[in-house]
Structure 1
Amino acid sequence: MKTIHTIAELRETLAGYPSAPVFVPTMGNLHDGHLALIRQARGLADEAGAGRSPVVSSIFVNRLQFGPNEDFDRYPRTLERDAGLLAGAGCDILFAPDEAELYPEPQGYTVVPPDGLAKLLEGEFRPGFFTGVCTVVAKLFNIVQPRAAVFGKKDYQQLMVIRGMVRQMAMPIQIVPGDTARAADGLALSSRNGYLSESERAEAVQLSGVLKQVQADVKAARQQGQGTLADIDRRAQDTLRQCGWLPDYVSVRRQADLLPPTAEQLLGQEPLVVLAAAKLGATRLIDNLEI
């Protein structure tokens, strides 16, 4: 694997390949979930056969998507360790620019996603987050020029925002979802899990447990033909609060657009997803489960 720090060198290197790359953007501090996305990208790249595509991953902690009271400064930077993990998972090129390389001047031009998707759920509690995400991803897409990019479903709303950006901006990129990787006890893998104390880590599995209960509650409501969205969401948040969590939201939404389902859709066959974000101690975790 080759590690590259400048845009010019990356473009020169990619010009030597016969096919456009498959791309996995990250902020580093990698775990098995990231590596699963790299392996998925490797499979997509190898489908090109004789015109083999390279797998490119980026590591960049993007200041634009962090709020003023969030963890930008303490977000773990583990480049040497991450490079070894990427190489072992089948990555060909690691693009690891510093901030001055990616933002040589203040980023006055930004990509602002529509309010209907970007200001609910995560967007409500992290104002400007998705503008920061879309801006850096669009910039990375322009630099890497991938034919496909793999994003994890753990960041469900982010995946939908990126899909919408690519579709509306007519970017010739296939956005490929990767399933959420979980620990043996069900906790969704996250770089922020490293912030948890030993006792918090034992409690953290409660988040995925609550999502499973919501999934079961929706299925039971459908079988019985009765039940309300407000009751299901409220019970889930109450369970977390009783266990010492501070939930931002636990909410059942439509998979199509993340809007709340109508009563008919809740009890019918509409594909749904339950999404959650909650603080355990000083650590904010997110997760989701399709229904």
Structure 2
Amino acid sequence: MKLPPFALHVPRTLDEALALRAALGSDAKVLAGGQSLLPMMRYRMLRPYALIDITRVESLARLDTAPAVRMGAAVTHADVERCERAGALFDLLRAHAAEIAFLPVRSRGTVVGSLVHADPAGDWPLLLTALDATVELASLRGRRAVALRDFIRGAMDSDVQVDEIALAATLPERASGLVRWGRCKLMHRAGEFASASALALQGADGQWACWLGAIDPGPLALPATAARLPAAGGLLPPRRDIAASALDEILAARPHVDPLAASRHAQAMARAAEQAWQGVAA
């Protein structure tokens, strides 16, 4: 199916992009990678009269790695996958990016675009929520920063005002102290969205965080399961115990989730925890 007619605007500076956003308002959509926006337009789920292509704005294509990681709105999944910075955090970011769809998609799709789209099955909402990321937004009215946990308000619903552009996603400096990580992404076929996705992260303070993705309406923290993982030394609980703990938390927090799907998420969480403890990247 062909795209409907639209006007294309290609600003070269951020000021020009913000002026267009203010002038066009709800008649326009911001185009970065277009991997979600354009298919929705083809199927007439969205009918914007104009697109504002921000990929020529040089400042939005920057991927900064120090002192904190900051991914501009035009940074693609492939840009993250190719990042050469050493460290556990960057190993995790590379592994996460590398398992998104296929290379042509990773070469166009953007990290920030995935956050704005807020698909519960998306990869970046899970990881960047777990890492306590912040989203930077701007309009002619000024700039603001919103914690990703608040920015994603629900399935396909993010806190971007009609005159705003999401500029970047930034990780706190403490994220660079990541010690261990494990991840598990279950898919029906390679390259598809996850049917279940889990992360187990251990920070520099020895504390664990356990998170689930691909679960409606958005990423879910499992603090009780995280509390069962040993901070240092000791033994990792058996997989069945981790899965049982995760299942209890899932059913308590999201009672609408099908029990079989909840079990699949719980098993993914147990696998992620085992991989993190063993130092094996999924």
Give the alignment's TM-score, normalised by structure 1. 0.31
TM-score between both structures, scaled by the size of structure 2: 0.32
Instruction: Looking at secondary structure, tell me which structure has more helix per residue.
Output: 1
